[in-house]
Amino acid sequence: MTRGHVLVISRRHAEKLGDLRDAEGGALGSWLPALSRAVCKVTGVSDWNTVQNNGIRAAQVVPHVHFHIIPRPETVPSLQARSWTMFGKGQREDLDDDEGAKLAGEMREVLRMELGRAGEAEEEAGKAKL
């Protein structure tokens, strides 16, 4: 996994995306933009993947709906088999506990700011409609 790789999961167990209730899917999806911005700000990347697999033939390993937000740093190694590098296979970076705790704290702080900005923008849009 790359530094800043985030998983977004549903609270209720559902194996595949189509097994979620519509409201659950909407709730999960609503987090993806703010989390993507937070990942980019904390890791300093401008490119990332958002990945969600459904079923074993689609490379789903964990039988629970989840999205990966995977930052793509500029220093991506050049490998022959591109299909193996797309989702980070063979590109793992280990974080020690202290580094992981620091990164999680930074991510929470940036996410709080993102959510605050989103709330202010919605409030302004509401006033404009009045």
Tell me, yes or no, if 66 is annotated catalytic: yes
- Map residue 71 onto helix, strand or coil: strand
Going by C-beta distance under 8 Å and a sequence separation of 6 or more, which residues neighbour residue 76? 85, 91
Q: Which of 5, 13, 64, 66 is catalytic?
A: 66
Q: How far apart are CA 89 and CA 107, in angstroms?
A: 23
Q: How far apart are CA 21 and CA 23, in angstroms?
A: 5
- Per-residue CA distances from 65 to 2, 5, 16, 51 (Å): 20, 16, 5, 11
Which active-site residues does the annotation give? Answer: 66
